[in-house]
Structures are given as C-alpha cells and as structure tokens.
C-alpha cells in the first residue's frame, strides 16, 4: 500500500468519510506533531460502523449502553487504521481535527492546532495487528516526507500529551517496533 497526499491534503486511494468535527488551523503550514491514539466502539469490540458514526455525529445512543455516554461528543481524527490495515480519512491534514483535547507537547499547548491524529482500532491492552503496523509505518513515512516540520522526535502518543487524562495507545503499542519501521 503506497500512500500519496494530494494538493487538498487528502490521501489518494483510501476511503474518505468527511467529519464535520474539524476547523481551519491558524497556520496550515504548522503541521509539526503526529499523535497516535486508539479507539474501539463499543469498548473492546472491533469492526462495525460505530467509529465512523462517532466521528460524523451519527452515533445512535440506543445502539449500545456505552453510546449513551458518548454520542454527543464532537470528536474526530485525521485517520483511522482498522484491525485489517484499512485506512479511513476523516479530516484533510491541513485542517484541525478534534482529537487531542486538553494537551501539551514540549511546552506547547493545544496540540490539535499543529498535529495530525491517527487512531488505531484497538485498546490499551490488546496487541495491535501486523496489518495496522504496516499501514501506520507507511502512513507515518508519507506524512514525514510531506510535512517537513514532522520528525521522528515529534511523534507521540495521546497518553504523553494528556497524562492522567488519557492512556492510549497504551502498553500494547510497540513503540520500538513502530519507530524502527519508519522510512527516512
């Protein structure tokens, strides 16, 4: 799978599900942080349309008891990588997705303003799949090549920019394997 980012900052040849939960960045050229997350809906279950529904404001609160707590959230990420490695893009990279919340990286707050958010379908405790790591390696390498302010040192997990509030991608995420698989 080879990714290419077009002039509108969308990936070519991946599923697009535009989210209304985004807005313009103050500076479109300030894409300088990559944040790795995880998500599963309902918690611990994979597959189904629920993540897409959440990121587009269409999650039925009656679909599962947990959905009653979260259906009103206005959240998104730039991309989701499913368990089988499928990549879905919700927000163009030059726009601000609403994925990080209250956050700080290297002394700078409001990470949504300058970051790209990638969700892995998973949990903090279950291993991610080889297909997900393959897709994440390729997507991350494509982002690093396209946006010069990104670097290996500016890739982090949600847990590190929102400590005490977030725990993802969690202990199940193999940072060493991920970082060694990145193309320069």
Active site residues: 119
Residue showing tokens 């206005």: 74
Q: How far is CA 49 from the centre of its chain?
A: 17
Helix spans in the chain (H): 50-55, 67-70, 130-146, 158-161, 175-180
CA distance 144 to 76: 21
CA distance 184 to 94: 22
Beta bridge partners of 88: 15, 80
| Percent helix / strand / coil, the chain, rounded to 5 | 25, 20, 55
CA distance 31 to 29: 6
Whether the Cβ atoms of residue 125 and residue 170 lie closer than 8 Å to each other: yes
CA distance 164 to 137: 27
């Amino acid at each position: 799978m080879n990714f290419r980012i077009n002039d509108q900052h969308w990936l070519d040849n991946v599923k697009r599900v535009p989210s209304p939960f985004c807005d313009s960045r103050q500076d479109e050229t300030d894409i300088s942080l990559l944040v790795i997350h995880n998500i599963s809906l309902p918690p611990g279950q994979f597959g189904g349309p629920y993540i897409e529904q959440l990121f587009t404001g269409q999650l039925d609160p009656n679909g599962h008891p947990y959905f009653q707590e979260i259906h009103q959230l206005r959240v998104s990420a730039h991309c989701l990588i499913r368990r089988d490695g499928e990549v879905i893009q919700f927000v163009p990279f030059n726009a601000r997705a609403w994925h990080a919340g209250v956050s700080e990286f290297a002394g700078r707050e409001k990470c949504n303003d300058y970051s790209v958010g990638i969700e892995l379908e998973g949990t903090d405790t279950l291993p991610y799949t080889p297909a997900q790591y393959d897709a994440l390696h390729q997507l991350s390498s494509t982002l690093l090549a396209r946006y010069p302010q990104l670097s290996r040192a500016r890739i982090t997990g949600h847990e590190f920019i929102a400590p005490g509030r977030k725990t993802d991608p969690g202990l199940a995420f193999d940072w060493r394997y991920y970082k060694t698989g990145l193309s320069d």
